[in-house]
Amino acid sequence: MQWILIFGEELVDKLVSLWGKGATWEQDNAYHPHEAHSLSLDCSKARLKLGWVLQISLDQGLEQSITWSQAYGSGTDMRPVTEAAIAQWM
């Protein structure tokens, strides 16, 4: 079983770094819901019931998400972009 542990601020820092082009973020210190420090994602149910296994690293997934988002933001025709991303894993 493979686990990825990353905290919110670290994840956002990674996204900003990967996004490039002057991307920044600012933390809102005034708002901290009580769950914010205990939320987590657990894929064990998908692994158990569906046989799901991790295929790419967190960094690869973030890079692919950013590439897709930047293409969308630039007005690119997203059908071929999305189909290429899906075909990569089929």
19-42 residue pLDDT tens? 988 888 887 777 777 766 667 778
Q: What is the pLDDT of residues 36-68, one digit of tens each?
A: 666 777 888 888 999 988 888 888 999 999 999
Provide DSSP, the chain: -------HHHHHHHHHHHH-TT------TT---TTTTT-----HHHHHHH-----S-HHHHHHHHHHHHHHHHTT--HHHHHHHHHHTT-
Domain boundaries, the chain: 8-87
pLDDT, residue 37, reads: 66
Give the predicted TM-score (pTM) of the model.
Answer: 0.70
Q: What is the pLDDT of residues 3-13, one digit of tens each?
A: 666 677 888 89
